[in-house]
A and B are shown apart, each in its own frame.
Chain A
Amino acid sequence: MSVQEVLPLDGLAKEQPGQFRADHLLVAGMVKPGSKVLDVGCGEGDLLQLLETRGVDGRGIELSREGVNRCVAKGLAVVQGDADTDLVNYPDDAFDYVILSQTLQATRQPKVVLENLLRIGRRAIVSFPNFGFWRMRLQLLIGGHMPRTENLPATWYDTANIHFCTIKDFVELCDAIGVKMERAEALDLYGRPLRLRLPWWVWNMFGEQGVFLLSRGGRKA
């Protein structure tokens, strides 16, 4: 079963299976067409290109020069920048959504970054690898070494990912800083969303990654 069948997206050609990443399809589905979006850590611009097919006014920030230049050479509005230091330049409410896709764990100050996302965007969409995933736990418990997966192949000494968290950790951070969770999804190893209504601990155990749609105004814990 292709990702596009699992995550059907209006207006997207079904004859291109596997062209888009599962989490990108999920994120794109959370964005209202025609809105203004900032993708922080946009890589080579795959998500921005997907969003542009949906009439979204997309902008991007990317740390690596190669990534930025490839994006710009695709005609995307991407600038070189760092989530930790450059989000402060954007004014309040500049975007309808700010997306942080698979980047939170690589920031120096995830809490400050998260607060900035919801300052410059009315909503934030955050996806990250779940370190509570059973395979991660098993590698640490049985293997006795820092977990490595297909999506996170780097060794502990050369990884850019310095702030790993579990879905449970992330939910607690959202509560702590008063962020409202409008929608939460967990994807399993094959990029399939876990069924809703399952208890948090199941998500935390079987979700390979978490995808959250956040807005301001949650109650602080």
Chain B
Amino acid sequence: MVGVKSVPSPAISADDRSHEVDHPSSQVAQFGAEQPLRLDCGIDLSPFQIAYQTYGELNADRSNAILICHALTGDQHVANVHPVTGKPGWWETLVGPGRPIDPKHYFIICSNVIGGCMGSTGPASINPATGKVWGLDFPVITIPDMVRAQAMLIDRLGIDTLFAVVGGSMGGMQVLQWTAAYPARVYSALAIACSTRHSAQNIAFHELGRQAVMADPDWHNGGYADQGIHPHRGLAVARMAAHITYLSDAALHRKFGRRMQDRELPTFSFDADFQVESYLRYQGSSFVERFDANSYLYLTRAMDYFDIAADHGGVLAKAFAGIQTRFCVVSFTSDWLFPTSESRALVHALNASSARVSFAEIETDRGHDAFLLDVPEFFDISRAFLQSAGKARGLTTRND
């Protein structure tokens, strides 16, 4: 008989995750019936809430606020211990004391996106109309919807102009949407490993992930919450497939090669003989501990729909016409999910709009994930860009 071991079940109970959905260990901004969120699909979402974290202090003239936009599977816990996993903040390499985005100098805001599952309203939240989990009754959301919600949060915090909006991957898409929708409210924009539209290949990978979730019998047409279960297996496969796209051939080879996992010889089974298999299984199983399957469907869909040029008559440069925002665009050589060519197209459009833009391609073999990792050249560039923008903005940075 062939030995089969499926993806291990999570160590953290579903309760930890679902508790964060409605009662996040974060600050929460509530928006009532008088302030609905106008969604691109034509629906007014109301009431809704946004969970967010802040670091540092807003200065007297409210000019030092930086909004961090998280990626597909990120959340608002950018620089503090995660309440579910107990792991450090997902961007502590960039954000934190002594880092390029230092709470000593800036008021840093990071909110969970609309459609997410860490406290902002999404498909895992309770639908107040029914008293049950939204599930697939939740309206389909877009990147512009996420940004519209963030703008409402920024209003609520009494901030007119953000000193910087910063994000990578789906976070970078939000950065670009911010500059296209609210150019006067964004003084500088740091868009990393992203694109102004999702490519056919990326949509294809997302479809693969969604189909994996939907093929899990525990998914129950999105109604798993009513059954008290979660489609772990489907979501884990989706995560495993996606995780491959975040790395590179060279990085996988360097990290794992063909090395075996705790054994010398193949077992002639479908067990995780290779280290790379074991690693992927771990990625899949640890992901389902903290992420809601329906939320994954909605957020991947939002990325698929993203196309700034399409919203501006098909001409990307029109989206940025006359913009005063200072841009810094960063790509990584081995990122095949958001390759440099995508960033270059953005830079060309910004040049055509006479925008002030810096663009650096950083050499690394670590693929798309490089933006989350320890890449000193990336930090130097981020730091210098923000310092230069801060100088132009007249920000006084405290030195002690």
Give the Cβ gap from A180 to chain B, nearest Cβ, in Å: 24
- From A73, A74, A79, give the contact of B359 (CB < 8 A): A79
Q: Is the pair A79, B347 in contact by a Cβ cutoff of 8 Å?
A: yes
Give residues in B with beta carbon < 8 Å to A: 326, 328-329, 344, 347-348, 351-352, 354, 356-363, 377, 380-381, 384-385, 387-389, 391
Q: Is the pair A68, B359 in contact by a Cβ cutoff of 8 Å?
A: yes
User: What is the bound-complex CA distance between A68 and B384, given in angstroms?
Assistant: 13
User: What is the bound-complex CA distance between A81 and B361, given in angstroms?
Assistant: 11
Which residues does chain A contribute within 8 Å of B391, judged by CB atoms? 75
Shortest Cβ distance from B353 into A: residue: A91
Q: Is the pair A90, B352 in contact by a Cβ cutoff of 8 Å?
A: yes
A122-155 CB contacts (< 8 Å) to partner B: none
6 A-B pairs with CB atoms under 8 Å apart are: A76-B358, A77-B356, A77-B357, A77-B358, A80-B344, A81-B347
A69 within 8 A of B: yes
From known contacts A68-B360, A69-B377, infer whether A75 and B384 are also in contact, taking CB-CB under 8 Å. yes
Q: Is the pair A72, B363 in contact by a Cβ cutoff of 8 Å?
A: no
A16 within 8 A of B: no
Q: Total interface residues on A, using CB and 8 Å?
A: 21
Q: Is the pair A80, B360 in contact by a Cβ cutoff of 8 Å?
A: yes
Known: A57-B356, A65-B360. 12 other contacts (CB 8 A): A68-B359, A69-B377, A73-B384, A75-B389, A75-B391, A77-B358, A78-B358, A79-B347, A80-B359, A80-B361, A89-B348, A90-B354
Q: Is the pair B356, A72 in contact by a Cβ cutoff of 8 Å?
A: no
A59 within 8 A of B: yes
User: What is the bound-complex CA distance between A71 and B384, given in angstroms?
Assistant: 10
Which residues does chain B contribute within 8 Å of A79, judged by CB atoms? 329, 347, 351, 357-359
User: What is the bound-complex CA distance between A79 and B380, given in angstroms?
Assistant: 16
Q: Is the interface of A mostly helix, strand, loop or mixed?
A: mixed
User: What is the bound-complex CA distance between A89 and B348, given in angstroms?
Assistant: 6
A94 within 8 A of B: yes
Q: Is the pair B352, A75 in contact by a Cβ cutoff of 8 Å?
A: no
Which residues does chain B contribute within 8 Å of A65, judged by CB atoms? 360-361, 363
Q: Is the pair A72, B347 in contact by a Cβ cutoff of 8 Å?
A: no
A58-104 CB contacts (< 8 Å) to partner B: 59, 65, 68-69, 71-81, 86, 89-91, 94
Which residues does chain A contribute within 8 Å of B377, judged by CB atoms? 69, 73
Which residues does chain A contribute within 8 Å of B362, judged by CB atoms? 69
Q: Is the pair B385, A91 in contact by a Cβ cutoff of 8 Å?
A: no
Q: Is the pair A86, B348 in contact by a Cβ cutoff of 8 Å?
A: yes
Q: Is the pair A69, B357 in contact by a Cβ cutoff of 8 Å?
A: no
Shortest Cβ distance from A79 into B: residue: B359
User: What is the bound-complex CA distance between A94 and B354, given in angstroms?
Assistant: 6
